[in-house]
Amino acid sequence: MRQSGKVVRITIIGFGNVGGCVAEVLMRRREAFIREYGIDFRVVGVADAKGVFVSEDGIKWDILRSFRERHSISRNTDMSALELIEDVEHDIVVEATPTNLKSGEPGLSHIIAALRASRHVVTSNKGPVALKYDELMNIADAKGVQLRFEATVGGAMPLISLIQNLEGNEVTAIKGVLNGTCNYILTRMYEEKIPFEHALREAQALGIAESDPSQDISGEDTAVKLVILANAVFHMKASLDDVSVQGISEITPEALKLADDAGYTIKLVGEVSRERLEVAPRLVLKGDPLDVRGTLNVATVKTDIAGDITIVGKGAGPKEAASAVLSDMLKICTTEKLR
Ligand SMILES: NC(=O)c1ccc[n+]([C@@H]2O[C@H](COP(=O)([O-])OP(=O)(O)OC[C@H]3O[C@@H](n4cnc5c(N)ncnc54)[C@H](OP(=O)(O)O)[C@@H]3O)[C@@H](O)[C@H]2O)c1
């Protein structure tokens, strides 16, 4: 049994639900990571919108917890998140600030600064990856570091890792239910025969839908995920404007009943291939692999040799996003000689 591991220094930029969850698991599983991977993760800096906290030997959990719970822990107000990324020596930046689909900021600047400083980056933030995929990958390549973003597409569902494991195959299309909020609403409308507004209010009361659910129900959130897949898997240089998008607000219980009588259900399906970038409510045969219920996500990867491979999992939630972030961090550690 290994008693000590190689120290890998982390900063977490954006210390909210996802960032805090990543830190919590890193602390809780520290001994297991040393034992199983020979890696001793140390969080040397964290940042939220109010300031940063740094300890080059690794921040203790009680301090991280008070930072996360916004207690009166003193923050370095004279150091910005960008200065933390650039000036404090470390190996991996976890970027988990809010998604901005117009400018990508503040995450875009954080990721560019981290890559330029030759640090690996793991992000759950869809904005920068959807808006500037090529630019970010070019900087990462020039600096010999990795940018990983599993959490931006399927939450805990390791869709990008699955595709990376299909070496030798040509991926011809990816089709799936990539928004848990819409899937929950459609499932409730189908099972309880309730109207859209009623199911939406229920989802909001349960914390499944945000108070402003527009990005989810309009189909935009799914479209962003398709753009990321189009660029990362199909090298398409796509943007949100290239996606044909239709949301779920027009679906009625009557439409679901008609579909049901004919042996179908209705799902918000996103599909990406070289020929098609589309989000729309679609008829799905009952019992089809895409017929998953509640907040679950599902994706079918169509390939020339392996055929169709379908993966199902929880697509949203801080714990689920943290699972993807941790998996990306461990992949970096196991494929790179970290300084
Ligand atoms: N939650 C999920 O289920 C989930 C799943 C997959 C992906 N994501 C994505 O992951 C990211 C984080 O989500 P979340 O749920 O953790 O969000 P969150 O709880 O709102 O946390 C965001 C964090 O970013 C900080 N922040 C904002 N502006 C900043 C700045 N300029 N510099 C440094 N820190 C800044 C916030 O600080 P303050 O608290 O001081 O404002 C907060 O700590 C988002 O991009 C989200 O879309 C989330």
Distance 16 CA to ligand 1 centre (A): 5
Name 250's Cβ contacts closer than 8 Å, sequence gap at least 6: none
Torsion of CA 281, 286, 287, 289, to 10 degrees: -10
| Through-space distance between the first and last CA atoms of the chain, rounded to whole angstroms | 24
- Taking the CA of residue 124 as reference, the ligand 1 atom at the shortest distance is 10
Q: Is 225 one of the annotated active-site residues of the chain?
A: yes
Distance 138 CA to ligand 1 centre (A): 25
pLDDT at res. 75? 75
Ranges of residues in the chain whose predicted pLDDT is under 70: 1-3, 70-74, 337-339
Distance 106 CA to ligand 1 centre (A): 10
Whether ligand 1 lies within 6 angstroms of the CB of 317 is answered as yes
Whether ligand 1 lies within 6 angstroms of the CB of 281 is answered as no
Q: Are strands 171-177 and 244-245 parallel, antiparallel or unpaired?
A: unpaired
pLDDT tens-place string over residues 179-209: 999 999 999 999 999 999 999 999 999 999 9
Whether ligand 1 lies within 6 angstroms of the CB of 20 is answered as no
What CATH number was assigned to the domain covering residues 160-315?
A: 3.30.360.10
Q: What CATH class has 6-155+319-335?
A: alpha beta
Give dist(CA 193, CA 189) in Å, integer. Answer: 5
Q: Which two tokens stand for residue 294?
A: 């509640």
- For the chain, the structural domain boundaries read 6-155+319-335, 160-315
3-state secondary structure of 184: helix
